[in-house]
Amino acid sequence: MKKFIYSLLSIMFLVLLVSCGKDSATTPDKADTKAGKKKVLGIVLPNATHGFLGESIKHAEAEAKALAESQGFEYKFLTSSEASEQNNQIDTLINEKVDAIVLWPHNGDELRSAAQAVVDAKIPLIVYDRLINNFTPTATVMGDNIGIGEMTGTYLNKYFAIDLQKGEIQVLEFMGDNSTVPQQRQEGYLKTADKKIKIVQSFNTNWQRQKAQEQMENFLNTSKPEDIEKIKAVITQDDEIEMGVLDAINAYKGPAKLDIRLITGVSGRRENLDTFEKAKIDQVTYAFSPAMVREAVKLGADALNGKTLEKSYIIKTVEIDKSTLNDFRNSDIYKIRYSIQ
């Protein structure tokens, strides 16, 4: 009887051991296919090595790396020189079945079909900076472009208040490109600017300092002196553009007596801010930090984790002129922007 019990216990032990062995052998396989498989965030941006976009790329990759390490996901960081390349990159990410995508479009209209394909594949899509018209992504993140335009118009009204009582003020306008960003800034400006502030000529710079400089030089060298002397301000949509305009003005040796009193910008770029106190022309700019892209990457990570996102995130701006320059340099916006080089 004792022998039978012993044998029975031995069999039960072996069965238990085999059962445990099966569990321990299959558990790692389950982990590899489920818990062990990391989610993937795709990040698709235009490429650049300098300026606002160049800084933005550094911030985006730094944020993606930090979040991936802390939250345990993987990311694919893709840049491109044109919209067609971006379309191909998005197709690849869809085919790879990534879990969320952050997209900074070259041009919204040219990316609409690719963006729709992302949504159709039920992949969360966060669109940054430039709107895609007639399309609704999971979320959009952008600076307050309309607000920047409105504040620019209001600033000009106050700056030229006495002159406007006497009559018309003539200004030049230097746009970025044809995307939704400049359109929104112009829309905001036209809402608030006094109707007697007349834009007599507008230029498309494609966000390039050199191109802005050449356009301003051409205006100064080909216009009649009396027409040049009527220009009281220059509105630009980026600090890089503003710097190009200033380069042309500083180099001008022609017959006209320049009476440009104010130049506006957007960004709060250190190189530009450093000219505020010594420049002969007054300047005002509006904070539009490259570090804003970090918010889009954070939302991408939130989407990976299944969090519900708001449809729209607007990052407010700050007005910067001589009177607020030191406060801005001590602000978190400025410090975070220049936390990486």
| pLDDT, the chain, mean | 90
- 161-171: per-residue pLDDT in tens? 999 999 999 99
pLDDT of res. 44: 98
pLDDT of res. 35: 56
pLDDT of res. 22: 33
Report the distance separating Cα 75 and Cα 101, nearest Å: 10
Question: Do the domains 40-143+290-315 and 145-266 sit in the same CATH topology, yes or no?
Answer: yes
Return all residues near 240 (Cβ < 8 A) that are at least 6 apart.
51, 52, 207, 208, 209, 212, 267, 269
Q: Options 3.40.50.2300, 3.40.50.410, 3.40.50.800, 3.30.413.10; which CATH number does 40-143+290-315 get? A: 3.40.50.2300
Report the distance separating Cα 107 and Cα 233, nearest Å: 29
> Residue for token digits 């941006």?
45
Instruction: Give, in order, the Cα–Cα distances in Å from 176 to each of 209, 216, 221, 241, 266.
Output: 10, 14, 22, 8, 11
Domains of the chain, residue spans: 40-143+290-315, 145-266
Q: What is the DSSP string of 227-259?
A: HHTTEEEEEESSHHHHHHHHHHHHH--SSS---
* Rg over CA atoms, the chain: 28
Phi, psi of 330 (to 5 degrees): -95, 5
Q: Using an 8 Å Cβ cutoff, are 175 and 182 in contact?
A: yes
pLDDT of res. 11: 34
- The two counts, helices (H) then strands (E), for the chain are 14, 12
**List of E strands, 187-302:** 197-204, 231-236, 262-264, 282-286
The one-letter amino acid at 340: I
Q: Using an 8 Å Cβ cutoff, are 285 and 239 in contact?
A: yes
CATH superfamily of 145-266: Response regulator (3.40.50.2300)
Phi, psi of 112 (to 5 degrees): -60, -45
Phi, psi of 233 (to 5 degrees): -155, 160
- pLDDT beneath 70, residues of the chain: 1-36, 341
